[in-house]
Structure 1
Amino acid sequence: MSIVILDTGCSNLHSIKVAIERLGYFPTITSESSIVKKSKKIFLPGVGTAATVMKMLFEKNLINLIKINKQPILGICLGMQIFYDFSEECHGVKTLGIIPGSVSLLKSKNLPLPHIGWNTINFDSTHFLFNKIDAKSRFYFVHSYCVPIDKYTLAKTNYSVSFSSVIQKQNFFGVQFHPEKSGDAGSQLLKNFLEI
């Protein structure tokens, strides 16, 4: 199976590749449209700022390719956030506009930002993405901005306030946490996505 990790120039590309390889798959890190179009699964990682990632996607002519693709695609952390219309980060950034809504600063009250570390996700166990994942599993988060809970939310997490930690709209899936850094539970989630 042809698997692509979109080369967004961010720092976690290799760790995602290694996590997928541990599951017995052999992904390619690329921004070549011809390779992306032929792939069966796509990963959209993101670390840093929405403005930086959107600039990189624009320069590599990937924006329209992502928006029109029909393959299952998994956005990770910032990769999930840019599926939405707009991010409040960096005084406001227009993002991919695949899912309606805005990404906003996590209003964590007295808890520090960024939200770094292990946290649980509250999910509907009947969805295939959570197959063989225990309800008490913890996942590794690093973020200051978040997606609100909406009709696309599959799982939510609480950090003073609740936010979407897993979303889906048609073939577009997103996780706010880093499955590649989330031990057995994260590995199982990647496996579930790859086996769609």
Structure 2
Amino acid sequence: MTADAAWLVVIDPQEIFASTQSPWGSPFFPAAMERIRQLAAAHGDRVIVTRWVPTADRATSWGAYFAAWPFADQAENDPLYALVPAARSLTARPTVDRPTFGKWGPELTAITGPAPRLVLCGVSTDCCVISTALAAADAGAYVTVVTDACAGSTAENHDAAVHVMGLYPPQITLTETAALLTSG
């Protein structure tokens, strides 16, 4: 791959978003994870996996958030926040852990550079994926969202988030796994 090749960012493939027992579990996660594995294989060593960790300051609006979702108010090493088994071998890099919905920030730019080409996939389309896509595009990154490799909280919320991200061309483009893999 060339130096300007895209980075695949796999957003939050964690038990809390995958488990059918979790209030935040997405029923679309298994299908998205299969596509994520295909994308990771195609991106080689340019794969970054992120994790949402609940360590934000409770004196801010995060306090009210965790009051609304007490099941998630656990230590970051709680099994809820572990990567799903299928995600553990996607990259040899350590995870980029952030206590924010969006994963765009200094930890990610330290790896990708300040204005990279990013390919985003993961969960949840209507929360962490859209938050990452908009912030990265706003900072000057070129963002491609692989819509069928994302899992939303519901089909309607997934579609709504995809619609909003589709309003930002040329900074954000939308594609599907097969199209991305056949284009190069």
What is the TM-score normalised by the length of structure 1?
Answer: 0.38
Which of structures 1 and 2 has the larger relative contact order (alpha carbons within 8 angstroms, sep 6+)?
A: 2
What is the TM-score normalised by the length of structure 2?
Answer: 0.40
